[in-house]
Amino acid sequence: MINDYLNDLNEAQKKAVLETEGPLLILAGAGTGKTKVLTSRLAHIIHTRKSFPSNILAVTFTNKAAKEMQFRIGKIIGNAIEGMNWLGTFHSIGAKLLRVHAEQANLKSDFTILDTDDQLKVIKEVIKLAGIDDKHFPPRFFLSHIEGWKNKGLTPEKIADHAIDAIGQEKSINIYKNYQKRLIKLNCVDFGDLLLLPLKMLQNNSALLDRYQSIFSYILVDEYQDTNTVQYLFLRLLSQKNKNIACVGDDDQSIYGWRGADVNNILNFERDFEGAKIIRLETNYRSTKNILGAARSLISYNQDRLGKDLSAYSPDSGNKVKIRSLWNAEDEARYVSNEIEIQKQKQNNLNEIAILVRASFQMREFEDRFIIDNIPYRVIGGPRFYERQEIRDVIAYLQLVLNADNDIKFERIINTPRRGIGETTLRLLTETSRSLNISLYQASKKLILTDEIKPNTRMQLKKLILMLDSWIEKNGSMDHVNLTQIILEESGYIAMWENDKSPTAASRIENIKELIGQISEFNSLNDFLEHISLVLEIENDETIDKVNIMTLHSAKGLEFDIVFIPGLEEGVFPNQRALDEKGNVGLEEERRLAHVGLTRAKNNLQLLHAQNRRIYGNWSQSIPSRFLDEISKEFVEQDIIYTDNSVGNTFNDRYSRTHTKKMTVLERLQSAGHIIEGDYDDITPDENVNIEQNQRVFHQKFGYGFVLGNDDDRIEVDFEKAGKKIVLSSYLELVKNA
């Protein structure tokens, strides 16, 4: 009922609802009921007739959030919700303003909103007219600059007043100017324009600004920590008259700096809005005391934060956060799979289990393991690993090496990367293929000898065919991993993504390198592709319960009963690229991301790190993440699994271990769940034995091999199946009677 909306609010929540006048920051920690507060506040303003629904601007970041808010408010205020004309995302609000006042931006009201592909086409036209070589400066290079400037609220004119601080920026400014002119001529805008143009319009027209400042008597903003500069400027401009702006956010959950979000917007709220108040929501209704304690102790290491002290609503401390140290990523996945099997046996809902990874390439190991163990799963926020565009492209290239007559794969790669082989040429190839009853590959070999294809296109097609013939010839005589790398280099495919300036390009390259690493685990290209075929046949039935796999960025706003966070190692999480590019700012954002991950868990949280990790095909000993060391010991329990006492560091030395060096390799393998069949040579676990050149040894991951040399405890071994590797001596066992 309408009179009940205050009844189930705690004191802090109630205060946030009733404090309607003046600037207000509602600092809402994870699981503290911010959506309930936001909707109750809106309902209260309307119910007490402080404002008509049409005079309230309510801004969210996603359409889903806007719809949920609309539904919740509607349940409280009924039909009055229909009058809330200004409830939506930043872009939908901006688009509405722009349609009404299109002429102010030299547009017609029926303007078209371009997607990324259309933007790139327009930029390509502009580049061509400017006489710029798009091989040295591809369209995405300029698009990246333009999007960055628009996120900062900078028009071409304003940029011209700024110092040029990067190679190519001067060119980018000119392209930006001409790009905007071209959009106006086409009666088009891009997503960046949906806020930049309304902001510019309001800044340049005082009468129009006064009108909308008067209309919006109250402004409410969700997820304020995720706002960029142009969004901040837009909100600040509209709130200057009535000053009734309430922003809900959490500085500890600001994790989207890579796409333009500026955490300083929330940190500087009191400075930017005179007379601002801050109300902290600190009662968490989601997680147990131990999980919150772990999250609280971790985030306390960040210096740039407003500060709050999350406490659990439930008196139950719950299970301690488990930290598990495993041998490698494969064991990491196997361990999680075993834990999930236990939950399955208890009839627990798989939908309530989540694996949160820092980088998408980490998903592959879990997907493979779950397929083997018949554990249903879904990938949230993107396709499965083997369904990703870049992975399918690489697999298509490899399949053509084994069977060049595969028309589906040939068609997929013929112009990927772009070679100037368009629809007209492909149509001719298809017609030739059908008329002669031959494959597209065979048709290409015939047509490159004729004049039916334009000279430039013919040259590119000939180049592709020659490369493909060369790869086919090398297959069998060359190591399949090296062959894969040659294919990716010679085809220009890896260079395509290296030159791509989109936010996803780096993760695509990581995924490709992860795939190359996986290929090295198979004896041949044929064996690998057979494995892939089986993987891709797995049905995707959404009617059954499934384990959730997603990146930590995709997990924001979600909650699960059981959460696993693997890969807590230096370089993986915190991410090395974030540290290299942003230094301490990057580290603090990585720590906020870890905090988001920890607070997704309701009852059971497990943090995993591997002692060894294969990064892009190369094995190296991993260093546990500093985040593990920053979590207060009182909230965790720790085990080292599938290892020995020889590896020590500041983190591991603080905890007990589950295994000792007295266990043989065979025993360690069996304890790890490996099924061992057949006879084994006599393997000694002698701790004091010296490992010397030419001795035969056994390694639980790489198998048998001969020692090539040593440097203290670092041993170079030529393994029979894995090839040359450098490993720690403590992980080797001498094989007697070798």
3-state helix, strand, coil in the chain (%, to 5): 50, 15, 35
Residue keyed to tokens 């720690």: 728
Bond preceding residue 574 cis, omega within 30 of 0: yes
Please give the Cα distance from 547 to 377 (Å, whole number).
4
Whether 650 and 624 have beta carbons less than 8 Å apart is answered as no
Please give the Cα distance from 453 to 378 (Å, whole number).
45
Among left, alpha and beta (phi > 0; psi -120 to 50; other), residue 257 is alpha
- CA 96, 100, 104, 109 torsion-angle sign: positive
- 247: its two tokens: 């922003």
Please give the Cα distance from 13 to 31 (Å, whole number).
12
- Report the 3 state secondary structure along 123-165: HHHHHHHHCCCCCCCCHHHHHHHHHHHHHCCCCHHHHCCCCCC
Residue 539: burial class (beta carbons within 10 Å; 0-12, 13-18, 19+): exposed
Under DSSP, the state recorded for 735 is E
Among left, alpha and beta (phi > 0; psi -120 to 50; other), residue 420 is left
Active site residue 34: yes
Active-site residue, from 147, 190, 193, 223: 223
Active-site residue, from 15, 19, 20, 35: 35
Active-site residue, from 180, 231, 253, 700: 253
Residue among 309, 259, 301, 238 nearest 150 (CA): 259
Active site residue 288: no
Active-site residue, from 34, 140, 513, 592: 34
The DSSP bridge partners found for residue 610 are 326
Whether 19 and 247 have beta carbons less than 8 Å apart is answered as no
The DSSP bridge partners found for residue 478 are 475
Residue keyed to tokens 């894995």: 722
Please give the Cα distance from 175 to 171 (Å, whole number).
6
Report how far Cα 736 is from the mean position of its chain's Cα atoms.
48
Active-site residue, from 150, 508, 600, 626: 600
Q: Where are the beta strands (DSSP E) in 176-320?
A: 188-189, 218-221, 245-249, 277-281, 283-284, 311-312
Bond preceding residue 503 cis, omega within 30 of 0: no
Active site residue 600: yes
- 488: its two tokens: 């990716």
Active site residue 157: no
Q: Which residue type is seen at 539? A: E
- 90: its two tokens: 């930043």
Specify the DSSP element, H or E, that contains 353. Answer: strand 353-357
Residue among 536, 461, 460, 520 nearest 485 (CA): 520
Please give the Cα distance from 126 to 120 (Å, whole number).
10
Among left, alpha and beta (phi > 0; psi -120 to 50; other), residue 437 is left
Active-site residue, from 147, 190, 193, 222: 222
**3-class secondary structure, 30:** coil
- 524: its two tokens: 């041949």
Residue among 594, 513, 547 nearest 367 (CA): 547
Active site residue 35: yes
Please give the Cα distance from 575 to 587 (Å, whole number).
8
Please give the Cα distance from 436 to 430 (Å, whole number).
10
- Non-local CB neighbours of 90 within 8 Å, separated by 6+ positions: 59, 61, 194, 195, 231, 234
Cα separation of the two ends of the chain: 82
Side-chain-side CA neighbours of 318 within 13 Å: the count stands at 24
Active site residue 222: yes
The full length of the chain comes to 738
**3-class secondary structure, 444:** helix
Question: Among all residues, which ones are annotated catalytic?
Answer: 34-35, 222-223, 253, 600
